[in-house]
Amino acid sequence: MEFVFLAYPSCPELRILSFLAVSLVYTFIITGNVLIVVSIHTEVRLHTPMYYFLGSLSGVEICYTAVVVPHILANTLQSEKTISLLGCATQMVFFIGFGSADCFLLATMAYDRYVAICHPLQYPLIMTLALCVCFIVASVVIGFFLSLQLVAFIFSLPFCRARGIEHFFCDVPPVMHLFCANSHTHEHSVLVAATLAIAVPFFLITTSYAFIVAALLKIHPAAGRLRAFSTCSSHLIVVLLQYGCCAFMYLRPNSSHYPKQDQFISLVYTLGTPLLNPLIYTLRNSEMKGALGRVLIRNCLSRNIQ
């Protein structure tokens, strides 16, 4: 059994234009996130919990986009835009798994900022390297556990004869439109999985920031308060982008999904958020800008010597 993707443009000129636009965005995503990972790995002064989490987030987003974007690029130029049943299930497992890991990593980053601001003296004792590794591994493991459970449930259900998916890749809402069985129970299972992967981490983030705001209000010098808040503002922007799009896509009934609207939203969290994350975290962080500059200078000097 094969599925056919129906969301791609049929006009040759539009296909070429879409291919060039997506290729350009994808190049920026990979370049920005790879530079962040390399900078954090090579710069000793960035070997702190906050940057370990940021590097892990960039690594997850490299994998997250690699699951679907090369497939989108290939389908844009191909005449037959098909995918096998097993290929669709595999793509969905990795896409949801890395996306869920992304959400849990954002929650761990919020906890890191909470400890740094609310318990600064105990921060080195609490946020040890071992705990950071545990948080990162747990984020990935829990993300893929939820993903495997959800995808196994979805692909155990009967599909109708219609093979057309009104989307660019195998995402949960458009695939669920192809069910022949009663979808209410299936919708509830998706909502439960989405709640665990989206709503629970978001609740932990809001709780962390509630304590952070309460602690910041106790800081009397305005300059100190602004400096402390600036370390959290970049993370808040990323959280709002990521969770806003994901909640809109997954935390609503299947009957309220509209193909064109969903296609646009999916492009935002598939291409837009991974593109903006490196920009937000680097342009608003002087240490990251300095580290990126040193990495680029070293690369240029090594090429000149060669």
| Residue appearing with tokens 């296609």 | 263
Query: In this structure, are residues 41 and 72 in contact, taking their beta carbons and an 8 Å threshold?
Result: no
Spatial neighbors of 197 by CB under 8 A, at least 6 apart, are: 96, 99, 100, 103, 104, 143, 146
C-beta neighbour count of 218 within 10 angstroms: 8
Residues forming beta bridges with residue 3, ordered by sequence position: 83
At which residue do the structure tokens 């400890």 appear?
A: 115
Could you give phi then psi for residue 161, rounded to 5 degrees?
A: -70, -25
250 phi/psi in degrees, rounded to 5: -110, -25
**Per-residue pLDDT tens for 156-183?**
877 877 788 888 999 888 888 887 766 5
Return the H-helix or E-strand segment holding 85: helix 85-118
Torsion of CA 254, 258, 260, 263, to 10 degrees: -20
The DSSP symbol for 161 reads S
pLDDT attached to residue 137: 96
Residue by residue, pLDDT tens for the chain (306 residues) are: 788 998 888 888 888 999 999 999 999 999 989 988 988 888 888 888 988 998 999 999 999 999 999 999 999 988 888 899 999 999 999 999 999 999 899 899 889 988 988 888 899 999 999 999 999 999 999 999 989 988 888 888 778 777 888 889 998 888 888 877 665 666 677 777 777 778 888 888 888 888 888 887 776 666 566 666 666 777 777 787 778 777 777 776 666 667 788 888 888 888 888 888 888 877 667 777 777 777 777 766 666 565
CB within 8 Å of 140: residues ≥ 6 apart: 60, 97, 101
Please state the length of the chain. 306
